Chain A
């Protein structure tokens, strides 16, 4: 009988610990709550916009170069 009670208790404990694991997955909710995540988003957006502008300017320069080249090769 003791054995059964012990195993029942252990099962309950393990279920409880399972439930705990599922309930509290660590997320960065606090960072979101305090608003600091917006800083990261800002930084990433600035970097990417910078790179995008740079790509556009390379593209533009290349187009100009192609035009000059086409005129020369005529």
Chain B
């Protein structure tokens, strides 16, 4: 258990988020009402996705340096799990939008670019799936991943901020900063992000260990 303390920490943080996230005081804001509590669940999905994709690209760079197959497998699994969290982020955001903006999806810069970022990573998996030769797949995948990561960052975190967007934290929208000032919300929001990020890494680790064994048996 000494090596797995962070997994327990993930569980504790998320349980704390569920309890404190629903009970603690939140600012009374028009339109948002109680749905402001979604901040504790929707936003950590995207932060987790970003951290997983960051780890993925780090292992891709490592792979290009070392040529070690394990690094490539780690990169893929981090991308796989990151994608799951990104899709969860899209769906939770869509539901939230339905009840605050009145529609499941609008052609908002933040929404569209988030979707494109997800598609770029889906393409990464498709690209890998279409190449049979292992070393070639690993190398081309790693190079693609190194290009995909900065594009994802620009799409999700930079471009929407340069135009007007409905989404809080972008364009002329004060959104995020406003509730971020609320220290009660910070008390839940930061542990929520930590908890979900750790959980994402845990799932990625399990997937990597499975893939490693699978590869061993396939090579026999």
Contacts and interface: CB of A to CB of B under 8 A. Distances in A.
Contacts of B29: 25
B30 A22 contact: yes
Interface in A4-36: 21-22, 25-28, 32
Given A28-B34, A65-B213, A59 B7 contact: yes
A3 interface: no
B175 to A, nearest CB: 16
B23 interface: yes
Interface size class of A (residues with CB under 8 A): 20 to 34
Describe B's contact surface by its main secondary structure: helix
A22 B30 CA distance: 7
A21 B29 CA distance: 10
Interface stretch (B12-20, B68-76, B161-169): B12-20
A37 B188 CA distance: 17
Interface in B164-206: 202-203, 206
Nearest to A49: B15
Contacts of B30: 21-22, 25
B28 interface: yes
Contact of A27 (B33, B203, B216): B33
Nearest to B14: A48
B154 interface: no
Contacts, number: 53
Given A48-B14, A49-B15, A41 B23 contact: yes
Given A27-B33, A73-B216, A40 B206 contact: no
B11 interface: yes
Q: Which of B33, B34, B216 has the most CB of A within 10 A?
A: B34
Contact of B34 (A27, A41, A59): A27
Given A22-B30, A62-B209, A65-B213, A52 B11 contact: yes
B213 A66 contact: yes
Contact of B19 (A41, A62, A66): A41
Contacts of A59: 4, 7, 202, 206
Nearest to A69: B213
A56 B10 CA distance: 12
Interface of A: 21-22, 25-28, 32, 37, 40-41, 44-45, 48-49, 52, 55-56, 58-59, 62, 65-66, 69, 73
